[in-house]
Structure 1
């Protein structure tokens, strides 16, 4: 088996993270987002902008509690997860965190990288004193909803519509990450 793991992202990882994001979105969101919106957020120009944003997130995160992790296989970045304090007005940012994104390169899917990223995220958030973890998912994203559901996540009843040329519904999922024992 290849050498696999999760580590904090480095500046040099930003390009790979942006490439994975675009590849994963093109494959996973093709039936979830309007085609013009998907093209806009996965174009070459968008990928350059994502690379710059991820570089910024790595070198100057908004707070010490914001992190970008990468999954690696034989030193190749194959996935990533970003998290930070929850920003939704109905949540307490001192105790609730948000999984901002978790994506695995479609070329390396179903090899445990997503589970490793999620476990590492939860471990770090527990160390930071968080007890609740939330994430937004497209209502029709059955893959993400099944993945998080298998880890104990459930909808919390909150939803929102994103304007992507037409409304696209998202639901908020949550889980308790309070250490058991």
Structure 2
């Protein structure tokens, strides 16, 4: 394997992150999300969205590379109250010290090479440096690969679910939570 690394994204990465998102969603999530969601994704100004995300205060965006190729990305930051709240709206005692992995994506052809683990460990270190003590992530219940990945990292469902309407179907997501004290094996 070529040299693999994770680094903070900069504005010059926005177009490649947009390409990775578009290609990965088409390859891995069409059955889960449906054609309407993918059509909206294709019509969106993803480069502009990713430029704003990379530049947004408090947002931590990382890219995984292998050799000269960008192969994945992760977005993390402080979890908004709505993301960390229980189903009844109540907040846990550690709400202000909870980080959110908003997205973590590795292009399928680069899978099973440790990129997702490096992205999660790097994002966890960044969240810890910002004062977070634990992390959460929302994963589609039908995304068995991502659920398995987070479980191997020690993150587990906390019993909270939500349903998103993609325009074609309803997608049920489970909230996972776990430690930010992650280290690569």
**Aligned residue number for residue 84 of structure 1:** 77
CA drift of 1:169 comes to: 1.0
User: Is the counterpart of residue 6 in structure 1 residue 6 in structure 2?
Assistant: yes
Provide the C-alpha distance between the structure 1 equivalents of 2:136 and 2:129, rounded to a whole number of angstroms. Answer: 17
From 144, 154, 160, the counterpart of 1:142: 144
The CA distance in 1 between the partners of 2:180 and 2:63, in whole Å, is 21
2:38 matched to which residue of 1?
38
Structure 2 Cα separation of the partners of residues 29 and 39 of structure 1: 12
Q: Deviations over 1:88-134 (max 9, x none)?
A: 43255520011000001122121111111011011111111111100
Post-superposition Cα deviations, 1:3-56, rounded to whole Å, max 9, x if no partner, equal 210000011111110111111111221221122222322x2x32xx11111111
Root mean square deviation of aligned Cα:
1.8
Are residue 54 (structure 1) and residue 47 (structure 2) matched? no
Q: Distance in 1 between matches of 2:119 and 2:160?
A: 25
| TM-score, length-scaled by structure 1 | 0.88
> Where do 5+ consecutive residues of structure 2 fail to align?
86-90
Q: Please report how far the alpha carbon of residue 2 of structure 1 lies from its aligned counterpart in structure 2 after TM superposition.
A: 0.9
Q: What is the rounded CA distance, in whole Å, between the counterparts of 1:152 and 1:163 in structure 2?
A: 29
Task: Give the secondary-structure state (helix, strand or coil) at the position aligned to 1:14.
Answer: helix
Hey, what does 2:100 align to over in structure 1? 98
Does the 8 Å contact 1:9/1:69 carry over to 2?
yes
CA contact (8 A) 2:125 2:181 kept: no
Say whether residues 1:169 and 2:165 are aligned partners. no
Change (3 A) 1:17 1:140: same
Out of 67, 71, 77, the position equivalent to 1:74 is: 67
Work out the CA distance in 1 between the residues paired with 2:26 and 2:142.
15
Contact 2:78 2:127 (C-alpha < 8 Å) held by counterparts: no
- TM-score normalized by structure 2? 0.86
Call closer, same or farther: CA 1:179–1:37 in 2, change over 3 Å. Answer: closer
